[in-house]
Every structure is written in C-alpha cells, then in structure tokens.
Amino acid sequence: MTTSTKWQLARAAAERYQTVLTPVILGPFAEALVDFADLQPGETAVDVGCGTGAAARYAARLVGVAGQVAGVDVNASMIEVAKSLPAVPGAAISWHVATAAELPQVAQTVDAVLCAQVLQFMPEKQPALVEMQRIVKPTGRVAISLWTPIEDNPYFFTLVDAVARHIGPETAVGLQSAFAFSNPDDIRSLLQAVGLGQVEMVIAQLDLPMPELSAFVPRHIRATPMGAGFDKVATAVQQAIVDEVCEKMAQFETNGRTQIPFRSHMILCKKET
C-alpha cells in the first residue's frame, strides 16, 4: 500500500479498515450519522462512499425489510469486504462500485443519502453533491459527516503530529487529509452552491472507549494510508510515536480505561425546491 490522501485502499488494507478502524472510531460515527438522518421503516437509503458499509448496515436495520439500502464506493476492495460481511437483519443491501460523481441510482428515488467521512477526500466535491441532489426525492434529505478541525480531535492531532515529526509530513498527510474539509463556512458555501441550502449543522462529540493504546496505535497507523511510511522506519522510531501518543492520551484514562473525545460535523441538507 502506498501513502495516498484519497484512501484508495487495497484489499488487505480494506480488511484492516474494517477490523481496526470501524469497530473503534468510524463505525460509531457512521451510526451517529444514520441516527442524525432519522431513518424511518420502509425508507430508501444510499450510503455514498460506503467503505466497508458501517452506515449501510446500520441503516438496513432501521429501515427494515420494507426498506431498501444501497452502498456505493469507488474502491472495489472496500465493496468486496462489505459484501463478505455477514448479512444484518432488515433491508437487503445492494453494493455498487461507482464514483460518487456518477451514482447508479435513478433520479428522485431516495429518501436519505448518507455520506460519512467521504467528501474531504474528493478533489472535486461539487459533482458528487450534484449527484446526491439528483437521486434524493424532493422530500428527502442528504446527511453528511465531516471531521471538525484536527485540533478539536486530540487523538488524531497527537498521532498526526507525532508521525509528522518522527517520520515526515509526507507520511502524516495520509491521515491529515481526513481533516481537509472541516471549516463550517466552506462547507455551507459549497452546499448552497449546489442547491442543498437548507442546512442544519451540529457538532457531534462521541467519547469513544479505546482499546489498549500501545497495541492499537500501530494497528491503527497500518490501517491508514500512513502504514507504508510507518513500516519503512526503524522499530525505535515506531516505538517513539506509539509512546508519545500513549503519554499524551493518558489524560483521558480513568481507572485503567481510556475514553477519548472525537468530534465531527453532522450536516443535514434538504433539497431546495
């Protein structure tokens, strides 16, 4: 796997994404976005940039057997992993390899578009938002999550800072790119420009219980595009990064348990009519 700022992960990396990142950080936030979209039984939902499908699977439970759910991702490895996971009760999920800029859904057929931590990785965001606006029903909604600035996310900030100093900024950018679209004014302007103007934007903070950090940090790094750069440096350098993150995160430890706050924008858009 090479360092990539667009999270185009190969199959082994997509599996690591599912086993390492989804249970601890991305899964809880994907589910929080689905809750924010307030899905109802019988609705149709599309998870754009679904990755391994955390939002799609949770949405399938909520819309139930009368509903429909699709997951769309440009990365075939992510979709392969999504398909390989056990089915969840509720709606059957259809999986599609496609770019968000050309969604396979028919116009005005979707009640809720879900887009969890994806837009920041797209150099061209407008075509994807125009597509979301095209497929959503006039009465539907588009729910988007984007991390708040990295300085508001102490674990990510500390990790990126340590990787940048001990390895180099070109490796750190593999995680830093997840915070490339965090400014609320920039987000609002872009949504208004594509006719998704009726915007409700809140900051969701989840205090996530972390596994033992000395083991989790290297696994986490290897499940991101920073993995290749991390594997090239000496063990002592790797250990220095892990030690630094553990030391700085000790402030979030109580009775041997570490619970760290993570913050993301949750944005609900209605189509402008």
Ligand X SMILES: C[S@@+](CC[C@H](N)C(=O)[O-])C[C@H]1O[C@@H](n2cnc3c(N)ncnc32)[C@H](O)[C@@H]1O
Q: Site residues (CB under 6 A) for ligand X?
A: 6-7, 22, 26, 30, 49-51, 54-55, 73-75, 78, 99-101, 116-118, 121-122
Neighbouring CB atoms inside 10 A of 136's CB total 25
Minimum distance from CB of 129 to ligand X (Å)?
11
Q: For ligand X, which is the closer residue by CB, 51 or 90?
A: 51
**What are the φ/ψ torsions at residue 58 (nearest 5 degrees)?**
-70, -40
Angle of the 169-176 helix axis to the 154-166 helix axis, nearest 10: 160
H helix runs in the chain, sequence order? 11-16, 27-37, 54-63, 76-84, 126-135, 154-166, 169-176, 184-193, 213-222, 227-232, 235-249
Comparing every residue's Cβ against ligand X, the nearest one is: 51
Q: For ligand X, which is the closer residue by CB, 26 or 166?
A: 26
Pairing of strands 44-48, 68-73: parallel
Minimum distance from CB of 140 to ligand X (Å)?
19
Please answer whether residues 73 and 83 qualify as being in contact, where contact means their C-beta atoms are separated by less than 8 angstroms. Answer: no
Q: For ligand X, which is the closer residue by CB, 7 or 230?
A: 7
What amino acid occupies position 239? Q
Q: For ligand X, which is the closer residue by CB, 142 or 244?
A: 142
Q: For ligand X, which is the closer residue by CB, 98 or 201?
A: 98
What amino acid occupies position 86? P
Minimum distance from CB of 58 to ligand X (Å)?
10
